[in-house]
Amino acid sequence: QVRLVESGGGLVQAGGSLRLSCAASGSIFSANGMGWYRQAPEKQRELVATIASGGTIHYADSVKGRFTISRGNAKNTMYLQMNSLKPEDTAVYYCWMFVQISNYWGQGIQVTVSS
């Protein structure tokens, strides 16, 4: 069983920055991928950024050049540095991990960008 807990969300003005953190616990040694997704009101959940087990990173076009995903040295932590935030980045952000054959999700954390 894998448990994911996000932190670091909040309210920020447009152009500002936030750093999201995800702490993982449980059997994560065989994780095949991890990343961040987000869901805005009345929209489908969408990919923000992912890291594959081999280290390949993928970003959604909408966040390229502004967001940076990274893993902590302890490997049970993951971060999303968000710069130059826009009102359209407002959403609930979810930490995601794929372990063996299962998807795991955090509870989500609100990010609100005011104009």
Predicted local confidence at residue 41, as pLDDT:
92
> pLDDT digit string (tens) for 28-65?
766 889 999 999 999 999 999 999 988 899 999 999 99
Q: How far apart (Å, rounded) are the C-alpha atoms in residues 105 and 74?
A: 19
Q: Is residue 45 a contact partner of residue 36, using CB atoms and an 8 Å limit?
A: no
Predicted local confidence at residue 26, as pLDDT:
82
> pLDDT digit string (tens) for 86-104?
999 999 999 999 988 899 9
Segment 20-31 shows an average pLDDT of: 83
The tokens of 93 are what?
Answer: 């952000």
List, in order, residues 6 or more apart from 50 with CB less than 8 Å away. Answer: 33, 34, 35, 36, 57, 58, 69, 96
